[in-house]
Amino acid sequence: MKNAVKRVVLAYSGGLDTSVILRWLQDNYGCEVVTFTADLGQGEELEPARAKAEMMGATQIFIEDLREEFVRDYVFPMFRANTVYEGAYLLGTSIARPLIAKRLVEIAHETGADAVAHGATGKGNDQVRFEISAYALDPSIRVIAPWREWDLNSRDKLIEYAEARQIPIPRGKRGEPPYSTDANLLHISYEGKALEDPWVEPDEEMFTRSVAPEAAPDQPSYVEIDFEQGDPVAVDGIRLSPAALLSRLNDLGGANGIGRLDLLENRFVGMKSRGVYETPGGTLLLAAHRAIESVTLDRGAAHLKDELMPRYAELIYNGFWFTPEREMLQAAIDKSQHNVTGTVRLKLFKGSVQVVGRKSPFTLYSHEYATFEADTVYDQRDAEGFIKLNALRLRIKGLSGRLAAKNEEQRQG
């Protein structure tokens, strides 16, 4: 039996894997197990997890509603940067991990635990995200990752272990599942098994948060989103809390077949993997936020943000939320949002989202300057000098090349 661990806080879902882990920790470490289950808007009833943890002898059980904190302090700051990983992924799984890790460490401190544990495998990104976050928040914390220690390396072995110890197994878990899922208020992801061949189209029955684009209404829907300093605060004029607002956008986007993504991505550990995602509300939010920035951000600030974004996205994807570099980037991003206030109107139709209106009290758009009609504020003759100065280096380069060619011609002739 392993030793030196008296009490461990386990990130617990109540599913087969984490239930086996709970008993495995008791069997192999001889320790007390405190369970922590986070409600991040995954849409599942969490009280059965409490009953199961009680039945299996958990010392203490924490089930917490973190939906508002998740959207307010993690999702919204990320969206201020218009964050996408590898040009497409809205980081729904990635952005949830630092909050879970934060509460794991806090609960460990509250309960006097000397370790935390998670159910992430040794192949994926989540092990990195959980553990880097935990170590950043408490350098002395011990992290136990059973998937890197035990020999239960198949679904059959997990089920055998569970049956031998009277751990309840949902009927659907006895067969091989077609894919694994992870859900929260921002998205739901599907990976593995039936999706491992990147040539095979996902089964339509898999999707739960959006209708197929071809089955969406035949008439477009319109939605208006109000922003204050970069964050959405209202939908169609109704002010909502962060979690309620994202939930409303999920409903609107999903009903119009918006937010599906089939991506072959590069994991931090080095391999490529296929993920299929549904992020209806996030897709609307990204389009609307970029639109309100288009009228409120100076060109230099907007372009610099676009340059910083891939680095910021990679930090989140790889698990470096609680780091000095992420905080530095966040400070710059948040500074840019001071005047990102106004309203955006979106048109939703059969899987597409189109910006059809934007307005702001801080708009930098000037009809007087932009009009193609006569104006009194812009002297078009100024453009001649502007163009010549920008072309000067190219003209010098061209003249130099001509002179070199002429000299070479004279040398050979």
pLDDT recorded at residue 15: 87
pLDDT recorded at residue 176: 56
pLDDT recorded at residue 1: 54
The residue behind tokens 């999920």 is 250
Is 126 marked active-site?
A: yes
pLDDT recorded at residue 327: 98
Out of 67, 97, 260, 358, the active site residue is: 97
Return d(Cα 262, Cα 203) in angstroms, integer.
12
Sort 395 into a burial class: Cβ within 10 Å, 0-12 / 13-18 / 19+.
exposed
Return d(Cα 10, Cα 23) in angstroms, integer.
11
pLDDT recorded at residue 376: 76
Taking the alpha carbons of 235, 363, 71, 311 in that order, is the dihedral positive or negative?
positive
Kindly give, in sequence order, each residue whose CB lies less than 8 Å from that of residue 350, ignoring residues fewer than 6 positions away: 213, 214, 216, 217, 256, 257
Bridge partners of 227, per DSSP, are: 232, 342
- Enumerate residue ranges in the chain where pLDDT < 70: 1-3, 170-178, 370-371, 413
pLDDT recorded at residue 173: 54
Is 180 marked active-site?
A: yes
pLDDT recorded at residue 3: 60
Q: For residues 190 and 275, is the Cβ–Cβ distance under 8 A?
A: yes
Out of 13, 17, 247, 260, the active site residue is: 17
Could you tell me the CA-to-CA distances from 171 to 8, 18, 47, 51, 59 in Å, in that order? 29, 16, 19, 18, 27
Could you tell me the CA-to-CA distances from 175 to 76, 170, 171, 179, 383 in Å, in that order? 39, 10, 8, 12, 70
CB neighbourhood size of 327 (10 A): 10
Out of 39, 126, 226, 231, the active site residue is: 126
- pLDDT tens column, 4-28: 899 999 999 988 899 999 999 999 9
pLDDT recorded at residue 174: 55
33 phi and psi, to 5 degrees?
-120, 125
57-60, Cβ contacts within 8 angstroms, sequence gap of 24 or more? 57/26, 57/33, 58/12, 58/22, 58/33, 58/34, 59/7, 59/32, 59/33, 59/34, 59/111, 60/34, 60/35, 60/111
Kindly give, in sequence order, each residue whose CB lies less than 8 Å from that of residue 55, ignoring residues fewer than 6 positions away: 168
Return d(Cα 40, Cα 187) in angstroms, integer.
10
Out of 180, 221, 294, 352, the active site residue is: 180
- pLDDT tens column, 226-246: 999 999 999 999 999 999 999
Half-sphere exposure (CA, 13 Å, Cβ side) for 349? Answer: 9
Longest distance between any two alpha carbons in the chain, whole Å: 97
Q: Whole-model pTM?
A: 0.93
- pLDDT tens column, 182-204: 999 999 999 988 899 999 999 99
CB neighbourhood size of 194 (10 A): 15
pLDDT recorded at residue 337: 98
Q: For residues 185 and 247, is the Cβ–Cβ distance under 8 A?
A: yes
